[in-house]
Amino acid sequence: MTTDTGAPISPDRLAAARLRLEVDGAVATITLDRPEVRNAQTPTMWRTLAEIGAWLPDEVRVVVVRGAGATFSAGLDRTLLTPGGGDGQERVADLLTLDEEAFSRTVGEYQEGFTWLRDPRFVSIAAVRGHAIGAGFQLALSCDLVLAADDATFCMKEAALGLVPDLTGTKPLVDAVGYSRALEICATARNVGAEEAVRIGIAIDAVPGDALDARLAQLVTALTAPLPGAVRETKALLLGATDRDLDTQRRLEREAQGRRFRELAALLGGQQ
Ligand code: CAA
């Protein structure tokens, strides 16, 4: 059953941000809901995504991000790049009026719509059909796992627009595919198809479009089968592993295992 979230983010605010949020027990599903413009993204959407991340209850163990209709997301709403565009919405073009500090602070706020998906409290999954372009690709990369339909294409379009990817996608891309391939993908702004995305480590799997929901359900079941603490501790360990030296990592493994032993002992003790 899909339950109403009771989130402090009102349905009106979610609708204004063109997002849908459903929380069903351990699983939260966020849908970018602007199919008529291929789920093009806005600052309002990013600010609301960050608020959703801050609000999500502790029971949530998996966050699914998807797009309404046949495409995940065509990236930034390009009408917001032009002065006067965007129907009164917060415009990316207005960043030009800011001094350096305010520019950095504002883009930092936009980025928070993406970074929360790395929170070890849950595993995040991007379910990608059709295009994931620019901010759309970066949103998918912000998720721990990318599950692709076989028609999915990923494109880091920013360079073609004279910009850089600044919505936190560069690090997970390098982590996934390595520096050289990441540079080639970003600098050429080419399309990466679903099969290649799996082969080079962007996506974990590519399945026929009509099998995407079933594969997603299977993955969610598998991710929620272990005790929540085991998955959370494991995610925290793996997430920082490449940035740590071996001694630090093995110390963190020991400490995490100590917490696991204590929780398991408490659970077993409670059963006797
Ligand atoms: N912003 C605003 N409107 C968009 C949009 C976008 N990013 N992408 C699509 N739309 C609109 C189109 O203008 C069109 O509107 P109308 O019906 O009013 O003409 C509608 O959505 C449908 O678009 P298409 O007919 O092009 O749909 P398609 O399915 O044939 O193609 C697509 C889909 C390949 C995504 C194509 O629309 C496209 O290339 N869009 C632009 C992608 C883009 O350049 N995104 C910006 C990337 S850069 C970034 O995101 C990060 C950054 O910070 C700069």
Mutate to test the pocket of ligand 1, among 37, 111, 141, 186 (most ligand atoms within 8 A of CB): 37
Residue 18 Cβ < 6 Å to ligand 1: no
- The domain spanning residue 33 has which CATH number? 3.90.226.10
| Residue 6 maps to a domain | no
CATH of the domain at 235: 1.10.12
CB 79 within 8 A of CB 90: no
CA of 155 relative to ligand 1 center, distance in Å: 12
What whole-number percentage of the chain has pLDDT above 90?
A: 91
Please write the tens of the pLDDT for every residue from 34-87: 999 999 999 999 999 999 999 999 999 999 999 999 999 999 999 999 888 888
Range of the domain at 238: 228-271
Q: Does some domain include residue 2?
A: no
Task: Name the residue with the closest Cα to ligand 1, atom 47.
Answer: 134
Residue 37 within a domain: yes
* Minimum CA distance residue for ligand 1 atom 6: 77
What domain count does the chain have?
Answer: 2
Instruction: Share the mean pLDDT of the chain.
Output: 95
Q: Which long-range contacts (CB under 8 A, 24 or more apart) does 217-222 make?
A: 219/125, 219/145, 219/147, 220/27, 220/62, 220/64, 220/125
Task: Let me know whether 203 and 267 are in one domain.
Answer: no
Is 89 in the same domain as 212? yes
Residue 179 included in any domain: yes
Q: What is the mean pLDDT of residues 92-113?
A: 95
Does residue 78 have its Cβ closer than 6 Å to ligand 1? yes
Q: Does residue 247 share a domain with residue 166?
A: no
Residue 5 domain-assigned? no
In a domain, 90, yes or no: yes
ipTM of the predicted assembly exceeds 0.95? yes
Measured from the CB, is residue 139 less than 6 Å from ligand 1?
Answer: no
Backbone angles phi, psi at 30, to 5 degrees: -110, 125
Give the pLDDT confidence of 198-248 residue by residue, as tens digits.
999 999 999 999 999 999 999 999 999 999 999 999 999 999 999 999 999
Q: What is the model's pLDDT at position 89? A: 87
Is 4 among the domain residues?
no
Cα separation, 48 vs 51, whole angstroms: 5
Question: 140: Cβ below 6 Å to ligand 1?
Answer: no
